[in-house]
């Protein structure tokens, strides 16, 4: 739609986005927009939480024979939940970036308390 359907004014609405898959701007907010800035701020915040999680694993975990620091999910949950209630989401993000390793797709409190999380 080239006209804003919610306005009685005949001015053109914002420039329509005709991006296609494969285009570097596909699925991204307009450059310089407030939406883009909010996304950058959120990405930075999550990055800081991932760093903090890694520091907590290093502090509370034990060094194994392979030289990597490991901690059980139950121990990490009890320590980290007082800092943030998003411990599982942050763990998944850290694994996506290759910072930690653990078995399974998702970790559940109680059921997965003995799953070992290894800091890479």
Who's near 101: CB < 8 A, 6+ residues apart?
95, 117, 118, 120
**What is the spatial distance between Cα 116 and Cα 78, in angstroms, rounded to a whole number?**
14
Going by pLDDT thresholds of 50, 70 and 90, the confidence category of residue 60 is very high
Evaluate whether 117 touches 71 at the Cβ level (below 8 Å).
yes
pLDDT at 59 over 90: yes
7 assigned to some structural domain: no
Q: What is the pLDDT of residues 10-53, one digit of tens each?
A: 555 555 556 778 888 888 888 888 999 999 999 999 999 999 99
pLDDT at 49: 92
3 assigned to some structural domain: no
Range of the domain at 93: 69-119
81 assigned to some structural domain: yes
73 assigned to some structural domain: yes
Torsion of CA 33, 34, 40, 44, to 10 degrees: 160
């Amino acid at each position: 739609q080239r006209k804003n359907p919610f306005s009685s004014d005949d001015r053109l609405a914002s420039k329509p986005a005709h991006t296609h898959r494969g285009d570097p701007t596909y699925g991204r907010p307009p450059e310089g927009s407030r939406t883009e800035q909010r996304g950058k701020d959120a990405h930075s915040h999550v990055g800081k939480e991932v760093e903090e999680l890694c520091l907590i694993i290093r502090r509370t975990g034990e060094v194994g024979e392979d030289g990597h620091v490991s901690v059980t999910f139950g121990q990490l949950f009890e320590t980290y939940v007082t800092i943030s209630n998003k411990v599982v989401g942050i763990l998944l993000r850290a694994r996506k970036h290759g910072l930690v390793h653990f078995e399974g797709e998702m970790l559940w409190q109680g059921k997965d308390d003995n799953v070992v999380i290894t800091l890479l």
